[in-house]
Chains A and B, each alone.
Chain A
Amino acid sequence: MHVTALLLSRLQFAFTISFHIIFPSFTIGVAAWLTFLEVLYQATGRPTYRTVFEFWLKIFAVAFGIGVVTGIVMAFQFGTNWSVLARLSGPIQGPLISYETFTAFFLEASFFGILLFGRTRVPPWFYLLSTAMVALGTTLSAYWIIVNNSWMQVPTGYVVSHGTYFPVDWPQILFNPVARVRFPHMLFASYLTGTFCVAATGAWYVLRRQFNAESRVMLHMGLYLAAVLIPVQLFFGHLVGDYVHDRQPVKFAAIEGRWHDEQPASEVLIALPNPAAETNRYEIKVPVLGSVIGSLSLNSKEIGLTDFPRADRPPVIIPFLAFRLMVGCGIVMLLIAWVGTYLSRKQRLEQNRPLMWLTFLSFPLPFIAILTGWFTAEVGRQPWTIYGVLRTEDAVTPILTTSAAIISLVTYCFVYTLIGTFGALFIYRLLRKGPGGPLTVPPIAAFPRRPLALANEPILEK
C-alpha cells in the first residue's frame, strides 16, 4: 500500500478517535451507574452504597478528565486534515460539534462541581439531581456525536448550493431516523461498559478476598444490570442492522461477506474474505439464515458486493471481521451475565472461582465491542466520508504533505500513549486501593475543571 497523506490522515483519525471513544463510553456508563447507586443509597440509607458511590466517583473523575483532554484534538482535526469536508459540511457538522462542546460545558458548569465536591453542602435531593444531570449531560454529548455521525452515514435535511451543503431542515437532521436507532445502540453499549467494569472489579475483589460488602454490591448488581441490558442492546443492534440493510446495501453486503446476489440468501458465520478473487475462504455458512436476518423472510433476495463497482465497495475484511468480533463479545458477555445471575439467585456466585476469573477478565470485552462496532460502521461507509455524497479521497486537505502527516501522526501517538499510560496507571492504583477509607475531602484547589484533583493519590509511589 502506498503511503500518502490521505492514508496517514485516515490512520491518525482512526487512532485518535478510537483512543478517545474508550473514555466517553466508560464515563457515560459510570455516570448512569452512579445515579443508580445514589437512588439506592437515598432509598435504603445503606452505607455500603455510599462507599461504592464515592469509589466509582473517583474513577469517573479521572476517566472524565482524560476524555476531555483527548477530545480537544478532535475539534481541530476536521480542519487540519479534512479541510474540504470541514468547508463543505461545516454549516451542518460545525454546529453539531459546537453543540456537543457547549453541552459538555453546560454540564460541568452547573452540576459536575456539585457532584464532585458538594455532597455535604447541598440537600440530598439536590445531590441526586446533580448526579442525574451529569449522567444526562454525558448522554446528550453522545447524542450530538451520534447525530453528527449519522448525518455522515445517511445525509438528510440539506441542499447543495454553491458547492456547500446548506441545512434546510434541522428537525430532520436532529431526529434522523438513523440516529434514533444508533443513539440507543451506543447508549446501551456504554451502559454495558459500565456494568461490566463494575462487575469485573467486584469479581477481582472477591478473588482477592477484599472489601466483602462492596465487592458483593459491585459483582451482583453489575451482573444483574448486564443480564437485563444485553438483550435490549441486541434488539437495538438488530434495528441498526436494518437501517444498514435498507440504506447502505453495499456496507451490509460487506458485513455479511456476500459477494453475489442470493435468493434465498445464506448467512456466512465465519470466513476469510478474499476481495481479489471476490470469494470467501474457509467459509462456514447456514442456508436461508441470511434472508431471515436481512429481511425477516425465508426467500428474500439479498444483494451481493459484485452488484457495485469496485470503486464503490468498502474494504471487506475489516467490517466483516470487526462485526463478528463485536457480536462474539456480546454473546460472551450475555453468557457471563446470565450464568452469573443464575448463580447469584442460587447464592453460589462467589464460590464459583472459574466464573469469578472469567468475570474479572471480561472487562475488556465491552471496549472491544464498542471499537469493533465503530470500525464496522466507519470502515463499512468507505469509500465515502459522507455516504454517497463526498468521497474520503476528496475530503482530505489537498495541500497536506506526507511528511507533515507523518509528523502529526507520530506526535499524536506519543502524546496519547503518554496520557493513556498514566491514566491507566492512575485508575489501576485507585482500583487497587479499593473502596472505603475516609470519605472524599476536597483538596483546596479541587474544581470541576480539574477532576483529577479529586483522586488525590500518588500513582507511582513505592
Chain B
Amino acid sequence: MIDFWVSVLALSILLYVLLDGFDLGVGILYGLARENRYRRAMMSAIAPVWDGNETWLIVTGVVLWGAFPVVYATLFSAFYLPLLFMLAGLILRGVSFEFRDKARHLPWVWDFGFGGGSFVAAFMQGTMVGALVQGLPLVNGNYAGGPFSWLSPFSVLCGGGLCLGYALLGACWLVRKSDGDIQSTAFRLIPALSLSSLAVLAVVFLLALTENLRVLDRWIERPYLLAFPLIGIVAGIALASSVKQRREKAPFILVAVTFAAAFGTFVLSFLPYMIPFSITINEAAAPQSTLAFMFWGEGLFVLPLMLLYTVISYRVFRGKTGTSPAYL
C-alpha cells in the first residue's frame, strides 16, 4: 500500500512538471515576446489544457497530506513563503489568462500578470527543489529553520534552471502547436535553452555531489543509476538532430524524456528518503487504515479515470491550436 501511494505521488509530480511545465514555459516566453500577434498564438496554444494541468499540483498536495502527513506538514510549513508566492503566481496567471480578452482595458496589466505569474511560479518550484536537495534544517523531524532558510545561491540557481527548463518545454510545445514565423522562432530558441538548462543541471548536479557526499555514496553503491543520466544524454542528442531536421513532434517528447530522466535521477539519489536524509518513506507514511481507505476509492477508481481523461483531453485538442487567433 505504501508503494502504491509513493508511485501515485511520483507519477502526479512528474505529470505536473511535464504538463504544467510546458504551459508555465509558454507563459515565461510570453512575457518575453514583443508582438501581440505572437502572444495571442501562444495563449491559444495552451488555452484548452493549462487549467487541467494544474490539477496534478492539487493531486500532489492532497495525496501528500493523506498518505504522508509528516512530509506534508514539514515541507509545507518550511516552504511557507515560496509556496505562497507560487500559489499567488499561479492564481494571478490564471486570472490574467481568463480576463485578458474579456477586459478590453489595460492589456499590459494582464500580459504582465500572465508572464510574471508564470515566471514566479516556476522559479519558486525550482527553488524549493534546490532547498530540498541542499537539506532542510530539521531537529527531531521538525523544521527548525527561519522563513528564508530555503533561499541560498544554490536554490536560486535551481530556480533559474527550472525556468530555463520549463521555457525549453514551452518552446517545444510551441513548435508542435504553431506554424509560420512563431514556429521558426521557437525552433531557434531550442538550442540556446536546452544548452543553458543542461549546463545549469550539470552544475547543480556537481554541486550536489560535492556538498553532499552521501549522494555520491549512493551513486557508487548503485552504479545502475547511471542509466538515467545516460537516457537524458541520448535524448539530448536526439533533440539536437530533430531540431536540425525541423521535426515538429519529436522535440517535445525528447525534452519530456530528458525531464523524466532527471526526475528519476533525483528520486533515486535520495530513496528511501522523502525529505533527504531525515525522513524516510516508511516513517512518513500514514497508517494502513488510512492508505487502504484512500486506495479503495480514489486510488482504484478515480485516479485511472483522471489519467484516461487527461489522455482524452489531449487527443481532443491535438493538432495545431496556436496558429490563428481563432480562440481569442
Q: Which residues of A pack against B, CB within 8 Å?
A: 65, 69, 72-73, 75-76, 78-81, 83-84, 86-87, 89-95, 97-99, 101-103, 105-106, 109-110, 164, 166-168, 170, 397-401, 403-404, 407-408, 411-412, 415, 418-419, 422, 426, 443-445, 447, 449-450, 452-453, 456-462
Contact = CB atoms under 8 A, between A and B. Distances in A.
B94 A86 contact: no
B51 A449 contact: yes
23 contacts: A69-B94, A90-B69, A90-B73, A91-B290, A94-B66, A95-B293, A101-B62, A102-B298, A102-B302, A103-B302, A167-B290, A399-B144, A408-B80, A412-B88, A415-B91, A418-B92, A422-B103, A444-B326, A445-B317, A447-B317, A450-B51, A460-B102, A460-B104
Contacts of B57: 72
A400 B147 CA distance: 7
Contacts of B276: none
Interface of B: 44, 47-49, 51-52, 54-55, 57-59, 61-63, 65-67, 69-70, 72-81, 83-85, 87-88, 90-92, 94-95, 98-99, 101-105, 142-147, 286-287, 289-290, 293-294, 297-298, 302-303, 305-306, 309, 313, 317, 321, 326-327
B62 to A, nearest CB: 4
Nearest to A450: B51
A404 B327 contact: no
B69 A86 contact: yes
A79 B72 contact: yes
B287 to A, nearest CB: 5
Given A109-B309, A447-B48, A95 B290 contact: yes
A241 to B, nearest CB: 31
A279 to B, nearest CB: 41
A426 B44 contact: no
A449 B58 CA distance: 14
B298 A99 contact: yes
A94 B102 contact: no
Contact of A97 (B62, B286, B297): B62
Contacts of A91: 66, 69, 286-287, 289-290
B299 to A, nearest CB: 9
Contact of B76 (A86, A99, A443): A86
Contacts of B306: 102, 105, 109
B26 to A, nearest CB: 14
Given A86-B76, A399-B144, A459 B102 contact: yes
Contacts, number: 210
A58 to B, nearest CB: 13
A98 B74 CA distance: 18
Contacts of A167: 287, 289-290, 293
Contact of A400 (B80, B90, B99): B80
Nearest to A98: B62
User: Lowest 10 A-B CB distances belong to which pairs?
Assistant: A90-B69, A79-B76, A94-B66, A98-B62, A83-B77, A87-B73, A94-B65, A445-B47, A449-B51, A102-B298
Given A419-B95, A452-B98, A458-B103, A407 B290 contact: no
Nearest to B77: A83
A405 B154 CA distance: 25
A443 B326 CA distance: 9
Contacts of B69: 86-87, 89-91, 94, 164
B99 A99 contact: no
B48 A86 contact: no
Greatest chain A CB density within 10 A among B65, B79, B303 is at: B65
A104 B294 CA distance: 15
Given A168-B289, A461-B104, A94 B62 contact: yes
A201 B211 CA distance: 65
